[in-house]
Amino acid sequence: MKRYGQLWSKIVAFEDLLQASRQAQQGKRYRPNVLAFNDNLAQELLQLQSELTAQTYTPGGYRTFRIRDPKSRLISAAPYRDRVVHHALCNVIVPLIDRTFIADTYANRLGYGTHRALKRFTHFARKSRYILQGDIRKYFPNLDHDLLKAALRQKIKCPETLWLIDRIIDGSNPQGEDTEYFPGDDLLTPLERRKGLPIGNLTSQFFANVYLNGFDHFVKEQLQAKQYLRYVDDFSLFSNDRPFLENAWSAIADYLTTLRLKLHPIKSQLFETRYGANFVGFRILPDRIRVRSDNLRRARQRLRQLQQDYTTGQVSLEHLIQRLQSWEAHLLHGDTHRLRRQIGDRWRFTPPPEPLSVKILAPLEPDWEV
């Protein structure tokens, strides 16, 4: 197994930190923290470079908030300078480790994504009678720090790079209070092991793929599952052989315990593909692909908010068009002709009213004639 060394000089090079800052600010350029950083960009990057080189860099505190999309999730946002460091690290290590991933894992990878995953899922579903859909219970909050570090050390041997990786992992804030016990644990084991990664970090998204990379190879190579794919913590196996999938389900549950993870007891199911399966916001049926109703409901809520924001002048026409085109491009991956027509007929976006122009009249000349 190849391990990569001598990576540190690339990570801390000024040119690479500058590139990382450009990536970190995409879509956020006018936020106050980004403007403040960019106002003194060279000095900020030199300071980061100095801290990294001397190994005195310490991640800052997270800003946390909760979203419901649709289920409740805790989102943790790192300070902007830390996000620059995350990009600098990932720019170097991701291309090296990504090549060890299987072809059918689709989340947070360049050139992959939801729509390519949907196409592959549909291909498997329509040629197979059965599907085993698995969902890992509270995946990001339960990622074990020691096991993640061990997995990364199987790929990387550069001491300074491993120091930075450990800094980022150890700097994670708590993501949940659940206490889970696994074979071999004593009463205190779950309390002594640190776990959980912030969902909002670029590094967390990559580390999440690394953590399940061994699992992917186990399913493909040891279970001999020819039709398998994963998107973050959702995975699916397809087959015409139901007993094969039943045995695989049991083996997968056992393997996940070695990663201190558990399958979701309700969302993990084995059923016939003819009934349709939900995946990345769509429902895949034997003869069509529909948008999931909960996904459509959230989209209508966003459209209403977008409608209001455009009318009040909070978003520009350019931003409005971009958002609508993005939504339509997403819908084009399903059988949504009628749905797109309904949306086009129903939703009207009224531009903000023109400011009233007040005509200032010259004062009337007094009439002195009697």
Query: Mean pLDDT over residues 290-313, rounded?
Result: 83
Tokens of 78: 């790192």
**What distance, in Å, lies between the first and last C-alpha atoms of the chain?**
109
- Average pLDDT score over the chain: 90
pLDDT of 355 higher than 70: no
CA distances (Å), 327 to each of 19, 312, 348, 370, in order?
30, 21, 15, 73
pTM comes to 0.85
- Which is nearest to 137 in space by CA: 182, 167, 184? 182
Q: Where are the domains of the chain?
A: 7-284, 288-346
Q: List, for residues 235-248, the tens digit of each pLDDT value.
A: 999 999 999 999 99
List all residues 6 or more positions away from 267 whose beta carbon is below 8 Å from its beta carbon.
133, 135
CA distances (Å), 159 to each of 4, 9, 152, 341, 366, in order?
10, 12, 12, 57, 90
Answer whether 148's CB lies under 8 Å from 169's CB: yes
- Helix or strand or coil: residue 223? coil
CA angle in degrees (0–180, nearest 5) for 269-272-274: 130
Answer whether 347's CB lies under 8 Å from 307's CB: yes
Provide the pLDDT confidence category of residue 17 given band limits of 50, 70 and 90. Answer: very high
pLDDT of 364 higher than 50: no
List all residues 6 or more positions away from 180 whose beta carbon is below 8 Å from its beta carbon.
142, 190, 260, 262
